[in-house]
Structure 1
Amino acid sequence: MKIAIFGATGRVGSRVTNFALQEGFEVKALVRDIEKAESMISGAQFINGEATDLIAVEQTIEGCDLVFSALNTDKTDTLSTAKPLIIQTMLKHDISRIITIGTAGILNSRFEKGKYRYQSNESKRRSTFAAEEHEKAYQALNKSTLDWVILCPTYLPDGDSEGKVRYEENYLPEDGKKITVTDTALFALEEIKKEEFHHTRVGLSY
């Protein structure tokens, strides 16, 4: 399998990319800084460019079987701008499967019906910009004909695998407080391999 990866030098993205290469998958990754990418990842094919550039997106996706995105908001509209371009290009090249990393803020509120967590008192964040960007990306996928899944970890500290990951579709597992970057990446790798979820958000925590 050949995987197109966006956000390959980020905290989750770099781990997923390295795990995928260790599993024997081929990887094409769109990166802004190839020198930085090569220092973090060995064995991938790098495309230099921006995720908001349709030509760079197409160069990355063409010839692949699956798309994985760990793009974050980075205090810009990169995520909401890039996601429609990725969807458009996947449809053009007849690639149906995409797995992305989202945020627990776009999961359903367990206590306030009809709201996302970031809109409810379940969220402690004062700024909602990042969650709003992730919501736009979710809505774009939800309106598409793609076979998508958004993995939505809660508080995401660095750290090794702690195991015993809990998950729930469209909600954060009850009393979920955190999950490490490594365990999030390992969960994503398993989803790449097993394709267990379809057209859904998946809340992740311990």
Structure 2
Amino acid sequence: MTTDTATATEQVQLTNGLSCNVPADSPLARLLRTQRTWEGPDAKARLGILRRAKSIAIVGASPNPARSSYFVGTYMQQSSDYRVYFVNPRADTILGQKAYPDLASLPEVPDIVDVFRKASDIPQVIDDAIAMGAPTVWVQLGIWNQEAAEYGESKGLTIVMDRCIKIEHARFHGGLHLLGFDTGQITARKTIR
């Protein structure tokens, strides 16, 4: 996106390859600035990530059963063979396991860092993952930070964003009915092996 200050218009590159000029302060310009252009791994690549992984660290895990991170942690503990680590500096234990204050405190480098933090916290989590050598950062459903995704990829990380690891794992392994999410909107009839 380029701005022409003399006429206060912006040239916007659209995802379809076309470009247009719009008034810089218009609602359309603000909307176009928020359009998502980054794409993460496709379904086959996400399946590969989940199959190769042996351990997952859940950053932002909560001991509160009403929180989605608790629900996902429960599923990952009970419905997968992953070694699951919980990261929360304000908790001693979560789901009967020790909670760690940060990624650097974990007993091993996790294959996946699953993130339940606000979008503005994602760059720091990516830096922490890079520092410890974790290969994948998986940012949960509803959380989007395109700049952080692009930054993480530029540093060699695999980034999955705005996807629930529980839903993806269950979808690929035929377990959407386990612990909820049996809405009928996503089918789990055929298991990928």
Using the size of structure 1 for normalisation, the TM-score is: 0.34
Using the size of structure 2 for normalisation, the TM-score is: 0.36
Higher-Rg member (1/2): 2
